[in-house]
Amino acid sequence: MKKGWIIFIVVALLVILLALSLISPYNRMVGLEEGVTSQWAQVENVYQRRADLIPNLVNTVKGYADFEQKTLTDVIEARAKATSVTIDPANLDAASLQQFQAAQDGLSSALARLMVVVERYPELKANQNFLELQSQLEGTENRITVERQKFNETARGYNTYVRQFPRNLYASLFGFEKKAYFEAETGAEKAPEVQF
């Protein structure tokens, strides 16, 4: 009888020690995942700021009657597409991030074309509303870059933690999966060719 109690106590202590050894890594993984989610919300926030500036920019540009309507339509459509793509931070994988980034890249491209066309309209370039909106848009683009970098750093910290042994076993046991990173556009590694 005494031997049975000793075995029971030893097994119970081992179970308790195992449970205690899981609590700290689990809580750390939860904290890191919440950090990734929080940083993702900040990335979405700056992209939303850009999307919110675009209607004002389009309305300012529309005031110039001979402005090219197709360019404005392209910007409006790209904005609609970019704002329609949302990602659940819990399912932040490479495919969903790539889809989000493709929509945002389409908007960036449409805005770049708009700015090229604006160069043909000196009176528009001198308009104070347009200049202010252009400045805000440039600042927002810089914020996007900073927040994307912070997101990648946060995701890297999380990914490193959940992939190290033995935490990778705990992570797979509790469903913590690797998060995707923002990556440079294809071809960004090549320097642009400048010709005079």
93-152 tens-digit pLDDT: 888 888 899 999 999 999 988 888 888 777 877 788 888 888 899 999 999 999 999 999
CATH class of the domain comprising 29-174: mainly alpha
Q: How far is it, in rounded angstroms, from Cα 187 to Cα 119? A: 26
Q: How far is it, in rounded angstroms, from Cα 151 to Cα 101? A: 14
pLDDT at residue 40, rounded to an integer = 93
Q: Are 179 and 87 in contact (CB under 8 A)?
A: no
Pick the closest to residue 75 from 56, 91, 100 (CA basis): 56
Q: Classify residue 13 as exposed, middle or buried by CB count within 10 Å of its CB (0-12, 13-18, 19+).
A: exposed
Q: Is the dihedral of CA 155, 160, 163, 167 positive or negative?
A: negative
pLDDT at residue 195, rounded to an integer = 46
pTM of the model: 0.79
Asked whether residue 185 carries a pLDDT value surpassing 60, the answer given is yes
Q: Are 113 and 71 in contact (CB under 8 A)?
A: yes
Tokens 């990602």 found at: 87
Calculate Rg over the CA atoms of the chain: 25
Lowest mean pLDDT among 8-12, 67-71, 75-79, 142-146: 67-71
pLDDT, mean of residues 30-55: 93
